[in-house]
């Protein structure tokens, strides 16, 4: 798809399809991030979990919440990180039922390499905007994700495709 064919769908006069713009941008950024992190054998999901685990001691459940992953996907991701020797599950000192995800020395190296890649991809994306628009764009996104779009809306029962807020999932 070329930039010309990626134009937003036609809308009523004077309106913009913000959903399309945000979803398309997120999709393309994800594909670029996936391709870039593949250089070090990582997926964006695995890098996200590993990077959050490297910041401070966190349980598997806390990492799932931070990474917006369901329990099953989180287990699969941590299993992959363990098999690769990048992380290990250790018992929590405060809750015998919980497991802490500890990043290994090899995992810390991968986190550092991955962060350089993430920074490069983000730099390329923001570099497509003129300098004055970059900070305004990032500031606007931050206002949305910390304000009006901070928490997903509750989905009516039976509606397919809509994600419920994590707190409402059982």
- At residue 160, the pLDDT reads 62
CATH number for the region 44-149 comes to 1.10.10.10
pTM to 2 decimal places: 0.79
Give the SS3 label for residue 109.
helix
Structure tokens at 126: 């923001």
* Under-50 pLDDT residues of the chain: 167-170
The answer to whether 16 and 8 have CB atoms below 8 angstroms apart is yes
Report helix, strand or coil for 78. Answer: helix
Q: Which residues, at least 6 apart from 94, have a Cβ–Cβ distance to it below 8 Å? A: none
Q: What are phi and psi of 150, to 5 degrees?
A: -70, -35
8 A C-beta contact, residue 104 and residue 85: yes
| pLDDT digit string, tens, across residues 40-63 | 999 999 999 999 999 999 999 999
CB neighbours of residue 60 within 10 Å = 21
Rg (CA), the chain: 19
Contacts of 1 (CB under 8 A, 6+ apart): none
Domain boundaries, the chain: 44-149
CB atoms within 10 A of CB 74: 19
């Amino acid at each position: 798809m070329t930039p010309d064919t990626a134009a937003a769908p036609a809308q009523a006069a004077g309106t913009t399809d913000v959903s399309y713009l945000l979803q398309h941008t997120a999709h393309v950024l994800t594909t670029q991030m996936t391709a870039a992190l593949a250089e070090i054998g990582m997926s964006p999901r695995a890098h996200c979990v590993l990077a959050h685990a490297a910041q401070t001691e966190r349980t598997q459940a806390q990492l799932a919440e931070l990474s917006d992953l369901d329990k099953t996907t989180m287990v699969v991701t941590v299993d992959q990180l363990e098999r690769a020797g990048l992380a290990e599950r250790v018992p929590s000192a405060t809750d015998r039922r919980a497991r802490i995800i500890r990043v290994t020395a090899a995992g810390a190296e991968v986190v550092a390499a991955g962060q350089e890649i993430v920074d490069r991809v983000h730099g390329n994306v923001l570099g497509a905007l003129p300098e004055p628009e970059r900070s305004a764009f990032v500031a606007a996104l931050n206002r949305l994700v910390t304000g009006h779009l901070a928490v997903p809306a509750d989905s009516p029962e039976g509606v397919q495709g809509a994600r419920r807020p994590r707190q409402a999932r059982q």
